[in-house]
Amino acid sequence: MLRKLSIIAAVAGLAFAGQALAAGHPLPPKDVQWSFEGPFGKFDQAQLQRGYKVYREVCSSCHSMKLLSFRNLGDKGGPFYNEKYKNSNDNPWVKAIAKDYEVADIDSETGDAIKRPATSADRFPSPFANEVAARGANGGALPPDMSLLAKARSGGPDYIYSLLTGYVDPPAGLKVGPGQHYNPYMPGDLTAYWSGSHEHVPPGGFIAMAQPLKDGQVTFDDGTKSTLDQQAKDVSAFLMWAAEPKLEERKQTGFAVIIYLLLLSGLLYASYKTVWRNESH
């Protein structure tokens, strides 16, 4: 019986391990060591600031981040949080960042549609007026909103980092259409574009976005060397923060809750033993 079960378990295990490497599937994302991993993980504020700069200067020209407001940048755990400004709307760095953006509004006197500089309370404005405009400017492809990107892709920040650093020349025999780029980490099925044998279809898929980051693309204010690898890491960390801004609070609360529950369980177990000490069962 037990032997039968262990054979079944072994087969199931093999099946799991084998699936990831089968032809046609994207490469598994590279494993990056993030500061926010593990039960005590925290965001690295300097990294978030660099990541924000990458987002601002590169990503935001096509990608919206609709669910975030400027004030979020100054929230606890955020890239521009400062203890002096508990209310992030008062944070001078946040105010300065917001002022650089223009948002649509209605003139309170005339009712005319106007543009005014953003305030900390405003949402990040989107680069395109609507989906049609976004597709029109990007060869038919829609740049996804980045607010939740790090949670909306399996692999999360590892996947975003791998994709950004994973652009390679397409293998010979792969027909890449106009406005398409090969990336081995992109999900997809390349069988139809592959002239070689069906057993050796290259991993990954096509992506409409050309490689967005290159060495030296962004100048980091803290003097960090601006390599492709660094930019990709920083922007992935920033996007993880954007998707899960309460991550630090969650992990810290969790630690306290689990310690409490362990103590409670210990006490209850002792009570159980005491109550039942004279009863056989």
**C-alpha distances in Å from residue 202, one per residue of 21, 22, 175, 196, 263:** 11, 10, 11, 9, 53
| CA angle centred on 164, ends 152 and 206, rounded to 5° | 80
Does 115 help bind another protein (rule: CB under 8 A)? no
User: What's the min distance (Å) between Cβ of 49 and another protein?
Assistant: 20
Counting every residue written for the chain, the total comes to 281
Which one, of 255, 258, 238, 256, lies nearest residue 77 by Cα? 238
Rule CB under 8 A: say whether 51 interacts with another protein: no
**193-252: which residues touch another protein (CB under 8 A)?**
243, 245-246, 249-251
Contact (CB, 8 A) for 116 and 102: yes
Site membership for another protein, residue 265 (CB under 8 A): yes
Which 8-state DSSP code applies to residue 34? Answer: -
Contacts for 243 with CB less than 8 Å, ≥ 6 apart: 147, 148, 149, 150, 151, 152
Dist. CA 113–CA 236, nearest whole Å = 36
**Is 10 near another protein (CB under 8 A)?**
no
Single out the residue of 3, 15, 111, 129 in contact with another protein (rule: CB under 8 A). 15
| Residue 143 interacts with another protein (CB under 8 A): yes or no | no
- In the list 30, 42, 56, 151, the residue contacting another protein (rule: CB under 8 A) is 151
Smallest distance, another protein to C-beta of residue 12, A? 6
Applying CB under 8 A, which of residues 139, 179, 196, 254 lies at the interface with another protein? 254
- Residues that bind another protein in the complex, under the rule CB under 8 A: 1, 5, 8, 11-12, 14-15, 17-19, 21-22, 39, 67, 72, 144, 147-148, 151-154, 156, 187, 243, 245-246, 249-251, 253-255, 257-258, 261-262, 264-265, 268-269, 271-272, 275-276, 279-281
